[in-house]
Chains A and B, each alone.
Chain A
Amino acid sequence: MTPTAPPAARPAPTRQDFVSDQEVRWCPGCGDYSILAQMQKIMPDLGIARENIVFVSGIGCSSRFPYYMNTYGFHTIHGRATAIATGIKCAHPELSVWVMTGDGDGLSIGGNHMLHILRRNVDVKIVLFNNRIYGLTKGQLSPTSELGKITKSTPVGSIEHPINPVSFAIAAEATFVARAIDSETAHMQEVLKRAAAHKGVAFVEILQNCNIFNDGAWDSLKDREVKSDRLVNLQNRKPLVFGKNRDKGIRLNGYKLEVASLGAGVSESDLLVYDETETDSSFAFLLSREGRPDFPVPIGVFRDVVAPTYDELMSRQIAQAQAKKGPGSLEDLIYSGMRWTVKANGTSV
């Protein structure tokens, strides 16, 4: 049951090695295609043998993903992929385990399990496709749908305050948290590679377009003309600069973040320098909360900190117990406690 080492002479894998024989069934134009393509592209670069990779999913459009990857795959039940992945990783820590989920699967029905896999720091990579709608069930409100949103189940507008997936993950103190966009393919590849390289739980939100039930949900961030003013790409230990001409930045004013124009007495040294390795998650959280229309949406890595993983600690406790007590003997275990012997003549001692 231990994974066999790949034969030495095996040729280096290519993208094609990760493409399964199944016909991809997402709606034409769906953002999921891009995520699949980027994933298949980065896989050969990870240096992990294909047989040691498992994709796990729940239910929803995103959850079809494992069928299309020529790795091990388990398409499970609604909301529970994170729990199943926890068991897979704990039982078999050598595997690279990925969870593909959506805003409904991961944050509504699976919200509880999401919280716990993140806080436990199970070494599983979670990619959450956020299209702000239920696609597979044909267009109901999701937990990330905006207040007032008209959907099939909210014909006069949503009365729910949406959840911000990145804030959720940071609040749960996930050790790696990032955001990418389906249309920003090179950036997404970088983020996915970073997630794969992180030891511990990795949470990646991908802003994804559902062109059938919520088309254009992220258009304000995608338009070529304005996107550089609407996005700030987080760079570790670099000041938070953005804008078409890199002429704007983010600085702290009291407890609030604010946008500042560079020049006219404001220089890069006045701006916040972002540190994704800061163990205190408060600042990452603050940055993730910003929702003002004039404020850019951060993408990239919010948080990448080192902490022992749950699966590693579980294995370590077993190794320690075995080192201390020796491998368990069933005989000693059964023949323990107060015992007595009944002799053939019926007497007992």
Chain B
Amino acid sequence: MATKSQAANNNKPVEIVDRVTIRFAGDSGDGIQISGNQFTMATAFAGNDLGTMPDYPAEIRAPAGSLPGVSNFQISFSERDIHTPGDAPDVLVAMNPAALKVNLRDLGAGGTIIVNSDSFATANLKKAGYEANPLEDGSLQAYRLIPIAITQLNAKALEESPLSKKERDRCKNFYALGVIYWLYDRPLQPTLDFIADKFAKSPDMVAANQTALKSGYNFADTTEIFTSHFRVRQAQLPPGEYRNITGTEALVLGLVAASQLAETPLFYGSYPITPASDMLHELAYLKNFGVKTFQAEDEIAAVCATIGASYAGSIGVTGTSGPGAALKSEAVGLAVMAELPLVVVNVQRAGPSTGMPTKTEQADLLQAAVGRNGECPVVVLAPATPADCFSMAIEACRLAVKYMTPVYLMTDGYLANGSEPWRLPDLTSLKKITVSHEADAKSFEPYQRDPKTLARPWVVPGAPGLEYRIGGLEKAEVTGDVSYDPVNHERMVLLRAEKIRRVAQDIPPTEIFGEASGQLLLVSWGSTFGAVHSAVERVRANGKKVSSVHLRHISPFPADLGQILKSFETVLVPELNLGQLRLLLRGEYGLPVVGLNKVQGRPFTIGEVQQKIEELI
């Protein structure tokens, strides 16, 4: 999809392309994530829409040059509105043989490989399991291979620098980045600023890294290695102020926003677990927002302290990933019984057990929806994109306090670490969250319910005349006294279920992408939104009538969902598990639902979803 034209500002021709996907790969010590983030920033400044996905090795410091030590960062950018970090990369930037080996299978046919040829020495080749040098044995003939002696060129560029040889060598990532910036016509300034800021304490480091970046750029511009470079036109994004944001960052901001909208302090109890720990790190910095963070001794203490904080009047949030969510389930049952607000963020990862902690999956949905002892209903929500984590964090807190219930907010490794441009919200447009701890001492009963929501009053210790006792034993309706009465128990089970069902009255109508009825409807939830939506867009662009809906509310389902599903001949649910939403939909509506399921620790590609759609129509 490239058109040739003459560039005005460079001396080589520019090809206009509409979407590019680049993957940076190297040793986890190589600063790949920094390069990726810088390229992202430059891309945002260039006005493209974008999506990113980092992919870290599980080992913290795997041996340099080894296959398990490879760290990746993929970015896709376009002149169009895009929803994923791209399927197959068009360009692979491999800093060593291991990075090439691990990523080659994902590269699109005819894709470009840029390698640091200096790193393809015998020792590194051996570590990556190459018998012969792939740069020389013809095995990469199907690709456009561009070897650049980055280590040497970088060393040459920095000859004058007073830094040690080792320090100079570390600048080579910025050299490589400079090459790519030229190739994709990115502005250097944001990264020059970043370097100036990051190394502010050492002028020599600033100078060396900036020189490396510029030298890489100039090298690409002046040598014959590239005959042309590429430009992606600015995307037509809605006007407004933007920043690039990861799901974790957006979620943290959403929690803080909820606390302010509710004028209620935020308490965050958590135990370190990949990939959820970053929420704890970020919130721990926000003490001036009155946020209290508690690193507990274990997952159970984390949720229990959070329940204690909710009981004492805070917005209690606990964040974790699958194994931690399993440990928290008994305590969540207590919050269901005591009818206290609680938000449990599950940044899902590939399971079961320890599974693949740094890889993404959606296989904890049933755990959240039904994985507790007894009839124990909760609200389950899932954000669709990294930026959507902001709104859904507010939504989770809002429903938790309004309905006095635990709410699971299901993100995943891909949403948490992936990023996209976020149009910054107008803060005055965010709705206040009403919180009341008031009750009339004369008529107060701990389980007297609001007639509309069935929520009990959130009376907090400290209120005179309202002293009451609650707990995990079954409650008598209204008074909350301990009760073993069989009929009362059934009544309470039904009331708790009805309370959650009534949350549906608070869910906006489901948006249908495409026609409201027809042959095929796709239903997505959580992070599969991007791939599913893009696949449907593509098929529709080819003139096929296919529709999709995306669920942010999974328990309860939106009130209009049943009717929508019934309006299509076939319903397809793509999800990164063996069919958990499908099971819930079948159970709720008794409809035949088809699944597209993948459990490889990776998100869907658009192509995979598209192929399944084409099979079905």
Are A and B co-members of a single complex? Answer: yes
Within 8 A of B (CB), among A313-337: 314, 317-318, 320-322, 324-328, 330-331, 333-337
Is B308's CB within 8 Å of the partner chain A?
Answer: yes
Is A177's CB within 8 Å of the partner chain B?
Answer: no
Residues in A with CB closer than 8 Å to B576 are none
CA distance A87 to B304 in the complex (A): 7
Chain B window 282-318, contacts with chain A (Cβ cutoff 8 Å), 1 for yes, 0 for no: 0000111111101011101100111111111110100
CA distance A327 to B243 in the complex (A): 23
Chain A window 1-29, contacts with chain B (Cβ cutoff 8 Å), 1 for yes, 0 for no: 11110110000000000001010000000
Q: Contact check, B469 vs A72: say whether CB atoms are below 8 A apart.
A: yes
Is A54's CB within 8 Å of the partner chain B?
Answer: yes
**Contacts A3-B462, A83-B301, A334-B253 given: A91-B312 contact, CB under 8 Å?**
yes
Q: Contact check, B241 vs A338: say whether CB atoms are below 8 A apart.
A: no
Q: Contact check, B305 vs A22: say whether CB atoms are below 8 A apart.
A: no
CA distance A274 to B470 in the complex (A): 42
Q: Contact check, A76 vs B334: say whether CB atoms are below 8 A apart.
A: yes
CA distance A339 to B330 in the complex (A): 43
Q: Contact check, A88 vs B312: say whether CB atoms are below 8 A apart.
A: yes
Which of A126-134, A279-287, A340-348 contacts the other chain? Answer: A340-348
Residues in A with CB closer than 8 Å to B462 are 1-4, 51-52, 92, 94-95
- Nearest-neighbour CB distance to chain B for A251, whole angstroms, equals 39
Residues in B with CB closer than 8 Å to A339 are 241-243, 424
Which of B22-30, B40-48, B522-530 contacts the other chain? Answer: B40-48
Is A73's CB within 8 Å of the partner chain B?
Answer: yes
Is B78's CB within 8 Å of the partner chain A?
Answer: no
Is A85's CB within 8 Å of the partner chain B?
Answer: yes
Within 8 A of B (CB), among A176-194: none
- Nearest-neighbour CB distance to chain A for B482, whole angstroms, equals 7
Q: Contact check, A84 vs B243: say whether CB atoms are below 8 A apart.
A: no
- Nearest-neighbour CB distance to chain A for B427, whole angstroms, equals 6
Q: Contact check, A346 vs B313: say whether CB atoms are below 8 A apart.
A: no
Is A113's CB within 8 Å of the partner chain B?
Answer: yes
Q: Contact check, A112 vs B308: say whether CB atoms are below 8 A apart.
A: no
Is A90's CB within 8 Å of the partner chain B?
Answer: yes
Chain A window 106-124, contacts with chain B (Cβ cutoff 8 Å), 1 for yes, 0 for no: 0000001101100000000
Task: Closest A residue to B266 by CB, please name it.
Answer: A91
Q: Contact check, B47 vs A74: say whether CB atoms are below 8 A apart.
A: no
**Contact partner, B313, options A67, A91, A330, Cβ 8 Å:** A91
Is B200's CB within 8 Å of the partner chain A?
Answer: no
Q: Contact check, B467 vs A87: say whether CB atoms are below 8 A apart.
A: no
Residues in B with CB closer than 8 Å to A272 are none
The contact size tier of chain A is 35 or more
Q: Contact check, B260 vs A330: say whether CB atoms are below 8 A apart.
A: yes
- Nearest-neighbour CB distance to chain B for A32, whole angstroms, equals 16
Q: Contact check, A348 vs B305: say whether CB atoms are below 8 A apart.
A: no
Residues in A with CB closer than 8 Å to B305 are 83-84, 86-87, 90
Residues in A with CB closer than 8 Å to B291 are 318
Q: Contact check, A84 vs B304: say whether CB atoms are below 8 A apart.
A: yes
**Contacts A3-B463, A72-B469, A342-B240 given: A86-B286 contact, CB under 8 Å?**
no
- Nearest-neighbour CB distance to chain B for A69, whole angstroms, equals 8
**Contact partner, A92, options B298, B313, B338, B467, Cβ 8 Å:** B313
The contact size tier of chain B is 35 or more
Residues in A with CB closer than 8 Å to B465 are 51
Q: Contact check, A87 vs B267: say whether CB atoms are below 8 A apart.
A: yes
Q: Contact check, A112 vs B298: say whether CB atoms are below 8 A apart.
A: yes
Q: Contact check, A327 vs B311: say whether CB atoms are below 8 A apart.
A: no
Residues in B with CB closer than 8 Å to A344 are 239
Q: Contact check, A83 vs B241: say whether CB atoms are below 8 A apart.
A: no
Q: Contact check, B467 vs A51: say whether CB atoms are below 8 A apart.
A: yes
**Contact partner, B469, options A20, A94, A95, A324, Cβ 8 Å:** A20
Which of B135-143, B230-238, B402-410, B535-543 contacts the other chain? Answer: B230-238
Q: Contact check, A333 vs B286: say whether CB atoms are below 8 A apart.
A: yes
Is A151's CB within 8 Å of the partner chain B?
Answer: no
Task: Closest B residue to A331 by CB, please name it.
Answer: B427
Residues in B with CB closer than 8 Å to A83 are 296-297, 300-301, 304-305, 308
CA distance A51 to B461 in the complex (A): 6
Is B190's CB within 8 Å of the partner chain A?
Answer: yes
**Contacts A67-B482, A77-B334, A113-B297 given: A91-B314 contact, CB under 8 Å?**
yes
Chain B window 458-489, contacts with chain A (Cβ cutoff 8 Å), 1 for yes, 0 for no: 00111111111111110000000110000000
Q: Contact check, B312 vs A324: say whether CB atoms are below 8 A apart.
A: no
Is B401's CB within 8 Å of the partner chain A?
Answer: no
CA distance A334 to B254 in the complex (A): 10
CA distance A95 to B269 in the complex (A): 19
Is B437's CB within 8 Å of the partner chain A?
Answer: yes
Is A66's CB within 8 Å of the partner chain B?
Answer: yes
CA distance A14 to B260 in the complex (A): 41
Chain B window 419-431, contacts with chain A (Cβ cutoff 8 Å), 1 for yes, 0 for no: 0000111010000
Q: Contact check, B297 vs A335: say whether CB atoms are below 8 A apart.
A: no
Residues in A with CB closer than 8 Å to B66 are none
CA distance A327 to B424 in the complex (A): 21
Chain B window 515-527, contacts with chain A (Cβ cutoff 8 Å), 1 for yes, 0 for no: 0000000000000
**Contact partner, A1, options B290, B298, B313, Cβ 8 Å:** B313
- Nearest-neighbour CB distance to chain A for B384, whole angstroms, equals 19
Is A101's CB within 8 Å of the partner chain B?
Answer: no
Residues in A with CB closer than 8 Å to B310 are 87, 91
- Nearest-neighbour CB distance to chain A for B294, whole angstroms, equals 6
Specify which of A4, A91, A95 lies most central, judged by the most chain B CB atoms within 10 Å of its CB. Answer: A91
Residues in A with CB closer than 8 Å to B45 are 338, 340, 348
**Contact partner, B461, options A52, A80, A346, Cβ 8 Å:** A52
Is A230's CB within 8 Å of the partner chain B?
Answer: no
**Contacts A80-B304, A338-B190 given: A91-B265 contact, CB under 8 Å?**
yes
Task: Closest A residue to B436 by CB, please name it.
Answer: A1
Task: Closest B residue to A7 by CB, please name it.
Answer: B464
CA distance A340 to B239 in the complex (A): 10
Task: Closest B residue to A343 by CB, please name it.
Answer: B239
Q: Contact check, A87 vs B461: say whether CB atoms are below 8 A apart.
A: no
Q: Contact check, A73 vs B286: say whether CB atoms are below 8 A apart.
A: no
**Contacts A73-B468, A94-B462, A334-B425 given: A85-B308 contact, CB under 8 Å?**
yes
Residues in A with CB closer than 8 Å to B460 are 1, 92
Residues in A with CB closer than 8 Å to B461 are 3, 51-54, 72, 88, 92, 95
Chain A window 54-93, contacts with chain B (Cβ cutoff 8 Å), 1 for yes, 0 for no: 1011000000001101111111110010011111111110
**Contacts A4-B462, A328-B256, A338-B44 given: A75-B308 contact, CB under 8 Å?**
no
Chain B window 38-58, contacts with chain A (Cβ cutoff 8 Å), 1 for yes, 0 for no: 000100110100000000000
Q: Contact check, B467 vs A330: say whether CB atoms are below 8 A apart.
A: no
Is A49's CB within 8 Å of the partner chain B?
Answer: yes
Q: Contact check, B301 vs A341: say whether CB atoms are below 8 A apart.
A: no
Residues in B with CB closer than 8 Å to A317 are 287
Task: Closest B residue to A311 by CB, please name it.
Answer: B292
Task: Closest A residue to B330 by CB, please name it.
Answer: A77
Is A50's CB within 8 Å of the partner chain B?
Answer: yes
Q: Contact check, A334 vs B287: say whether CB atoms are below 8 A apart.
A: no
Is B244's CB within 8 Å of the partner chain A?
Answer: yes
CA distance A86 to B297 in the complex (A): 12
Residues in B with CB closer than 8 Å to A4 are 462-464
Is B331's CB within 8 Å of the partner chain A?
Answer: yes
CA distance A49 to B467 in the complex (A): 11
- Nearest-neighbour CB distance to chain B for A310, whole angstroms, equals 9
**Contacts A4-B462, A318-B292 given: A333-B253 contact, CB under 8 Å?**
yes
**Contacts A77-B330, A77-B334, A342-B239 given: A92-B463 contact, CB under 8 Å?**
no
**Can you list 17 A-B contacts (CB < 8 A)?**
A22-B482, A66-B469, A74-B469, A77-B330, A77-B331, A80-B300, A80-B304, A87-B269, A87-B307, A87-B310, A91-B308, A92-B461, A94-B462, A328-B290, A336-B243, A339-B242, A342-B238
Interchain residue pairs A-B with the least CB separation, the first 4? A87-B308, A75-B471, A3-B462, A328-B289
Given contacts A330-B256, A333-B286, A348-B45, 18 further A-B contacts (CB under 8 A): A3-B461, A4-B462, A4-B464, A54-B312, A70-B467, A74-B308, A74-B338, A84-B308, A86-B305, A87-B312, A90-B308, A90-B309, A92-B314, A92-B462, A113-B297, A318-B292, A330-B257, A337-B243
